Structure 1
Amino acid sequence: MRLSNRTRFWLPYAISILCAILFIYAATSKLWDFQEFKVQLGQSPVLTAYAEWMAWLVPLTEYVLAVLLLIDSTRQKALFGFLGLMTMFTTYILIVLNFSDYVPCSCGGVLENMGWTEHLVFNLFFVALAIIAILQLDSRPIHNSTLS
């Protein structure tokens, strides 16, 4: 399927907005109930030793990437950052599910109500979106004049 120039131009932008909304929502919900988030990180079999600074680093990174996703000049690097972070979150879930007896959920808001399978599918969906956006940025028209 061949996408029009207009779609190739706007698709990465639209995906970036969705990714930014996800990270703003996730970071805000973590900070909204910061103590609970920190406790849940401390209960993680993988992150216990790093819970204190991870509790600050994760939402801060999500906010920074969300802003960078919305800026044209930093969008591509931010999409790679988003992809990397979402891949790490997804890998963490897989590791904890397969090698731990206890699986704390340090997500907030609506994401906290998801089951682990749903959470994996959700994460993989956003990983796929990030890959699509990165590939479209590499193949999209360079000048706005080619959008017609």
Structure 2
Amino acid sequence: MKKKMIIESIVMLFTILFLYTGISKIIEYSIFKEQIATSPILAPIATPVAFTLPWIEFLATVLLVIPRWRFKGFIVSLSLMVLFTMYTILILNINENIPCSCGGLIGELSWQGHIALNTAFIALAITGIVFEKQLKSAHRLELSSINDQKAPIQA
């Protein structure tokens, strides 16, 4: 039961994060796109990234809040956070003065603050993946045990 509560808490944190940043990116789309266009890494693909990224964040949220798809949601969330972290590290190695294209208040963090936040969310996603997998395995084992009890005795 404790693992289930931890999973629900992690889902809530990712939901808040992805809804907040996704909505911020859509509301401030032109600014978001301009900031991406200043990136030496993303400039050539600024328009597709600016259009697609908020929707991927929303997709991750939908997957996380539907229990049947939650494991996939954690995988998408982990992938996003790893990509964001890799991008941040690359930017730090190229030029620290590139503006952050994150949505809302998160854009006010320093690059080191982004790495710390992303690392925390990577740890949360990994925890969610492990706990979700353990709960599904326990559930399958429980169902198997119930089916074994219902099986007719054969002579």
Q: Same fold (TM over 0.5)?
A: yes
Mapped partners of 2:52, 2:129: distance in 1: 25
Say if 2:115 is the partner of 1:117.
Answer: no
- Name the counterpart of 1:78: 73
Compute the RMSD of aligned alpha carbons.
1.5
Mapped partners of 2:99, 2:40: distance in 1: 9
Say if 2:139 is the partner of 1:142.
Answer: yes
Q: 2:5 is matched by which residue type in structure 1? A: W
Residue by residue, what CA displacement relative to the aligned partner does 1:96-137 show, whole Å, maximum 9, x if unpaired?
101236422101211011111111101110010000111111
The alignment partner of 1:142 has SS state of helix
- Name the counterpart of 1:87: 82
Say if 2:95 is the partner of 1:100.
Answer: yes
Mapped partners of 1:64, 1:79: distance in 2: 11
- Name the counterpart of 1:9: 4
* Larger RCO of the pair (alpha carbons < 8 Å, separation 6+): 1
Unaligned runs of 5+ in 2: 143-155
Mapped partners of 1:18, 1:35: distance in 2: 27
- Name the counterpart of 1:68: 63
Q: 1:142 is matched by which residue type in structure 2? A: H
The alignment partner of 1:45 has SS state of coil
TM-score (structure 1 length as normaliser): 0.89
**Identical aligned residues as a percent:** 34
Mapped partners of 2:88, 2:46: distance in 1: 16
